[in-house]
């Protein structure tokens, strides 16, 4: 049967397949995710360069600062600092994927690919969801490699495999949440270069004004409060708790996220996803190059 024609002479609108809803959204998102994963495989240097930076951080922080930072309950012990450090490096690695997500979306915008996607009969938001899922897969692979490097420099998870996997799950959830911030940045700027800069400039204070690399007790009083309520800090402390990497005699600060790090980490990450996914999808619907 021939397709119906428009008697006005204009091109017919694409027919949106029936039965949409969640099933259609999931299917479209997975298709876009597969497209982005295949693209990553064709450009392996992107993955390789993404691995070099966190590995350098592990080595530099472990051997350059390892004997210089006082850990309450452990002193200046380099081995204790490596135990303390690794959850912070893991969390920093997953959040720095934000810049790559933003740059990738900005590049697709710049090339007009986003406009072509929006003209297709696909679920709204599937392009962004697929992109963030692909970035989550890449982040998971990076964490696997980074964990191997951490084991080589002396880091260990002491609470068993299930809790270690739970810690990595929290880290990946945080990374996935932050990729939605990157998606919003990528849709809001005009070039991939601007997206990379915009995706990194706010991450440095977020990650360093935290308990990732130094205890909050070593900070000025006003920075202690910022660090202890920082969503990044909550995930770092939750990972340390699950890995069994808390220093001997650790006393949690009075801030609620530090007292309940696992719950705080989940709540923070879910809230970030809800807020920034909503904003990013809204921006996607109206964004133009």
Query: How is the chain split into domains, by residue range?
Result: 23-286
- Name the pLDDT band for 6 (thresholds 50, 70, 90): very low
Q: What is the mean pLDDT of residues 28-40?
A: 82
Q: What is the mean pLDDT of residues 145-163?
A: 90
Judged against a pLDDT cut of 50, whether residue 128 lies above it is answered with yes
Residue 150 host element (H or E): helix 126-152
- Name the pLDDT band for 67 (thresholds 50, 70, 90): low
Q: Rounded to 5 degrees, what are φ and ψ at 229? A: -100, 5
Judged against a pLDDT cut of 60, whether residue 57 lies above it is answered with yes
d(C-alpha 275, C-alpha 280), whole Å: 9
Judged against a pLDDT cut of 80, whether residue 169 lies above it is answered with yes
Of the chain, the percentage scoring pLDDT greater than 90 comes to: 32
Judged against a pLDDT cut of 80, whether residue 77 lies above it is answered with no
Q: What is the mean pLDDT of residues 154-159?
A: 90
Judged against a pLDDT cut of 60, whether residue 122 lies above it is answered with yes
- Name the pLDDT band for 84 (thresholds 50, 70, 90): confident
**pTM of the shown model:** 0.84
Between 42-51, 188-197, 269-278, the lowest mean confidence (pLDDT) is in 42-51
155 vs 15, more confident:
155
Q: What angle do CA 113, 42, 102 make, to 5 degrees?
A: 45
Query: Cα 160 to chain center, whole Å?
Result: 25
**Helix, coil or strand: residue 107:** helix
Judged against a pLDDT cut of 90, whether residue 237 lies above it is answered with yes
Helix axes 161-188, 78-110, angle to 10 degrees: 40
Q: Which pLDDT value is given to residue 83? A: 85
Q: Residues, the chain, total?
A: 289
**Helix, coil or strand: residue 111:** coil
Between 46-60, 227-241, 272-286, the lowest mean confidence (pLDDT) is in 46-60
Of the chain, the percentage scoring pLDDT greater than 70 comes to: 88
- Name the pLDDT band for 177 (thresholds 50, 70, 90): very high
**Helix, coil or strand: residue 227:** helix
Which residues are within 8 A (CB) of 188 and not within 5 positions of it... i.e. 6 or more apart?
198, 283, 287
d(C-alpha 72, C-alpha 84), whole Å: 11
- Name the pLDDT band for 234 (thresholds 50, 70, 90): very high
Nearest to 32 by CA among 110, 134, 112: 134
Q: What is the mean pLDDT of residues 18-36?
A: 75
Between 140-149, 162-171, 193-202, the lowest mean confidence (pLDDT) is in 193-202
Q: What is the mean pLDDT of residues 149-171?
A: 92
Which residues are within 8 A (CB) of 192 and not within 5 positions of it... i.e. 6 or more apart?
103, 104, 106, 107, 110
């Amino acid at each position: 049967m021939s397709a119906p024609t428009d008697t006005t002479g204009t091109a017919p609108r694409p027919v949106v397949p029936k039965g949409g809803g969640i099933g259609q959204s999931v299917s479209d998102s997975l298709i876009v995710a597969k497209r982005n994963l295949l693209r990553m495989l064709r450009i392996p240097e992107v993955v390789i360069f993404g691995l070099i930076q966190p590995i350098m951080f592990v080595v530099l922080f472990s051997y350059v600062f390892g004997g210089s930072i006082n850990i309450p309950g452990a002193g200046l012990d380099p081995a204790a600092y490596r135990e303390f450090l690794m959850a912070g490096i893991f969390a920093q690695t997953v959040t720095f994927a934000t810049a790559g997500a933003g740059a990738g979306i900005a590049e697709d915008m710049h090339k007009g690919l986003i406009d072509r996607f929006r003209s297709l009969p696909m679920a709204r938001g599937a392009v962004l969801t697929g992109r963030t899922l692909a970035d989550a897969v890449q982040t998971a692979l990076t964490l696997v490699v980074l964990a191997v490097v951490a084991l080589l420099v002396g880091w260990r998870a002491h609470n068993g495999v299930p809790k270690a996997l739970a810690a990595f799950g929290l880290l990946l959830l945080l990374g996935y949440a932050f990729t939605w911030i990157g998606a919003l940045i990528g849709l809001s700027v005009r070039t991939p270069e601007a997206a990379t800069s915009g995706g990194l400039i706010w991450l440095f204070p977020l990650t360093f004004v935290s308990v990732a690399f130094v205890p909050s007790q070593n900070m000025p009083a006003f920075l202690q409060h910022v660090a202890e309520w920082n969503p990044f800090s909550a995930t770092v402390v939750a990972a340390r708790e699950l890995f069994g990497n808390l220093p001997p005699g650790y006393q949690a600060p009075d801030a609620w996220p530090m007292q309940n790090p696992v719950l705080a980490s989940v709540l923070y990450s879910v809230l970030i996803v809800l807020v920034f996914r909503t904003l990013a999808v809204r921006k996607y619907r109206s964004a133009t190059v």
